[in-house]
Chain A
Amino acid sequence: MLIGLLKPKNGKAYVLGYDMVKDSKKVQRKIGVCFEYTNLYEELSAKENLTLFANLFGIKNFNPYELIEKVGLKGKENDLVKTFSKGMKQRLMVARALVNDPEILFLDEPTAGLDPVSSEEIRNIILEEKKKGKTIFLTTHDMYEADKLSDRVAFINYGKIVALDAPLNLKTKFGKRGLKLKLQKENGEIYEKDIVLDKDDTLEKILTTFKQDKVITVHSEEATLEDIFIKITGRGLKE
């Protein structure tokens, strides 16, 4: 609905101050969309794909080479998209979403199924656009990615937003920080112990533990967004 492909049956949606029911085409001039599925023209080249969309946005003097280089496809400008790997196609999809230099970017699972190198490259492009001050809607199942890239994270459970905040705030609110210790008793027995941080008796517990036994290893622990999602929704991300 926010990218103007579906009309709301009821209620209102505003993007950039425009009503999505009445002015969706005005909004679409200012947004870029990268779909979850690859929907490029496979029989056209990378350059032709980008130029087609630039023309549809009415962009004058469009330079496809700049974008192609930006997404790491330099030298592949004239190759047909059907010859590209999944990672290359996904990078071209991101490039296509950027042809109109959008104010808002909608990226639906842009790194799904990609190798770590391609994923990282796409994440870097997202961070670059973020630095330019663009609003980016990123849909992802990858909580590491959400944590790394997002200023604010919304958890959607069965179509409803169940939590919306900065990752750190969510962790503070729903997660717990702690220490994971590996200790050795006088008799040589090795055991593990968890100490929850930010409690009234945390310091006392730490001191007691350190005096009592020999500390072998200490690791700090903090809740991940995945832990928080499970805690909030009561189900895993894949369910």
Chain B
Amino acid sequence: MNFKNISILTKKDLSLFFKNRFFSIITILGLVAYIIIFFAMPRIQEDKIKIGIYSDVPLTKIYYFLESHDAEVYKGVSIEDLREKVSKKLISFGIYFPSDVKEKKALKLIINIETEDEMKEAYEYIAKELYHTEFGFDLNIESESEIIGVDLAGKQIPVRKRLIPVLAFFLIITETLGLSNLISEELENKTIYALLSTPVNIQDIFFSKGITGLITTLIPSILFIIITTQFKNFFSILLLLFLGSLFAISVGFLIGSIAKDMMSIIGYGFVIFILILTPSFNVLAPGTLSSWVKIIPAYFLVDGLNKIINFNTSFLNLLPNILILIITSGILLFFGAFILRRRLI
């Protein structure tokens, strides 16, 4: 291996990468767009329920009960007023206590049509509880809950923070296409033979492509992380991003070694991206995917980033993720290099 040759080739690859308008625009736009998406998301997770109440009978206990539980209450001036506030989503739901509420044991719940079924159920429970508080009737529903794992009640993670690992991974993986294109063009235009007829050897070419891939994948993701996390747990994140870049490079090697042109790179890339981006959804919406996603190595990158950024997990707890990423990237790199060599001979 000749480091001088590697640096010359890397410079050439970076120059070619940025001369390709498509990939340079994707790199810059991707970074800018993801930062905008991050800042467009709410800074805190709004999970307080604002209850609207209008009653034809005097209520003595409910307001005291709600205030003592730090709940937000809106006192409606009429049932129409409650309807309007619900339709405008200014309150979560409304409860109307009619004049015969005590005799008929019936009240009216005003819920927005867009409310999820789970929330509707929750609002019904709240209404029953309030009814019981005010009028003293027993609830006929028993419930018992046990919290397993970290209780995040009251400290929910805002969507924008959940997005950080996902967007950082998107940034890394998007750049894979550019690297694949560099490799594929080198093969298809046969410039690789011109290089190999000089003192350059195949290892120099592999390393220069790897370094180019590392620069193009790592720098945008680091910039994104700096802007969005403000250096919190920076070195653990940096390590995971580095491993993520290695993973992306190995994917880039694989695509580049089998693709013939830009169209086939995008074709192969599309299929592979769908697969490796799937685990990200589990971070955005935990529990939505089965445990099979763990067979996709990208899961361990997104999961690892999520653990550091959103849960302050210790480095020791990240070791399984790190090991799996090292092993899978190593295997993929080996296959990519193997196929590339086969194409050259």
Residues of A within 8 A of B (CB): 3-6, 25, 28-29, 31, 33, 35, 37, 39-44, 48, 52-53, 55-58, 96, 100
B137 close to chain A: CB less than 8 A: no
Complex CA gap A41/B8 in Å reads: 14
Closest to A25 in B: B199
B20 at the binding interface (Cβ < 8 Å):
yes
**Is B15 at the interface (CB under 8 A from chain A)?**
yes
Q: Which of A3, A39, A55 contacts B8 (CB 8 A)?
A: A55
- Counting from the closest, the 9 A-B pairs by CB-CB distance are A39-B190, A33-B197, A56-B198, A43-B19, A55-B8, A39-B194, A39-B191, A3-B197, A25-B199
Which residues of A sit under 8 angstroms from B194, Cβ to Cβ? Answer: 33, 35, 39-40, 53, 96
Which residues on the B side are within 8 Å of A25 (C-beta)? 199, 201
Q: Which of B17-73 contact A (CB under 8 A)?
A: 19-20
Interface residues of B in 165-209 (CB under 8 A from A): 189-191, 193-201
18 further A-B pairs in the complex, CB-CB below 8 A; given A31-B197, A44-B19: A5-B193, A5-B197, A25-B199, A25-B201, A28-B197, A28-B198, A28-B199, A33-B197, A35-B193, A40-B194, A41-B189, A43-B16, A53-B194, A56-B9, A56-B195, A56-B198, A57-B198, A58-B199
B16, B199, B345: the one contacting A44 at CB < 8 Å is B16
Majority-rule SS of B interface residues: helix
Question: Which of A55, A56, A100 counts the most chain B CB atoms within 10 A?
Answer: A56
Give Cα A35–Cα B191 distance, bound, in whole angstroms.
10
Complex-state Cα separation, A42 to B20, whole angstroms: 11
- Among B189, B195, B197, residue most surrounded by chain A Cβ atoms (within 10 Å): B197
Contacts of A3 in B (CB 8 A): 197
Are A5 and B196 closer than 8 Å at their CB atoms? Answer: yes
Q: How far is the CB of B6 from chain A (nearest CB, A)?
A: 11
Interface residues of B in 80-94 (CB under 8 A from A): none
Q: Is B4 an interface residue (CB 8 A)?
A: yes
Chain A contact surface mostly: loop
Q: How far is the CA of A31 from the CA of B191 in the complex (A)?
A: 17
Residue of B nearest to A7 (CB): B345
Contacts of A96 in B (CB 8 A): 194
B294 contacts the other chain (Cβ, under 8 Å)? no
Instruction: Say yes or no: B191 contacts A41, CB within 8 Å.
Output: yes
B5 beta carbon closer than 8 Å to chain A: yes
- Is B341's CB within 8 Å of the partner chain A? no
User: Nearest chain A CB to B185's CB is how many angstroms away?
Assistant: 9
CB nearest neighbor in A for B19: A43
- Shortest C-beta distance, A186 to chain B (Å), equals 67
Partner pick for B199 among A33, A37, A48, A56, CB 8 A cutoff? A56
Say whether B12 faces chain A, with CB atoms less than 8 Å apart.
yes
- Bound: A6/B202 CA distance, A: 13
Question: In the bound complex, how far is the Cα of B20 from the Cα of A192, in angstroms?
Answer: 66
| Residue of B whose beta carbon sits closest to that of A42 | B189
Chain A residue at minimal CB-CB distance from B344: A5
Q: List 19 A-B contacts (CB under 8 A).
A: A5-B197, A6-B345, A25-B201, A37-B190, A39-B191, A40-B191, A41-B12, A41-B16, A42-B189, A43-B16, A43-B19, A44-B15, A52-B8, A52-B12, A55-B8, A56-B195, A56-B198, A56-B199, A58-B4
A53 to chain B, nearest CB (A): 6
- On chain B, the residues within 8 Å of A29 by CB distance are 199
Contacts of B19 in A (CB 8 A): 43-44
Bound-state Cα–Cα, A4 to B195, Å: 11
Bound Cα distance from A146 to B242, whole angstroms = 56
User: Please, how many angstroms separate the alpha-carbon atoms of A40 and B194 in the complex?
Assistant: 8
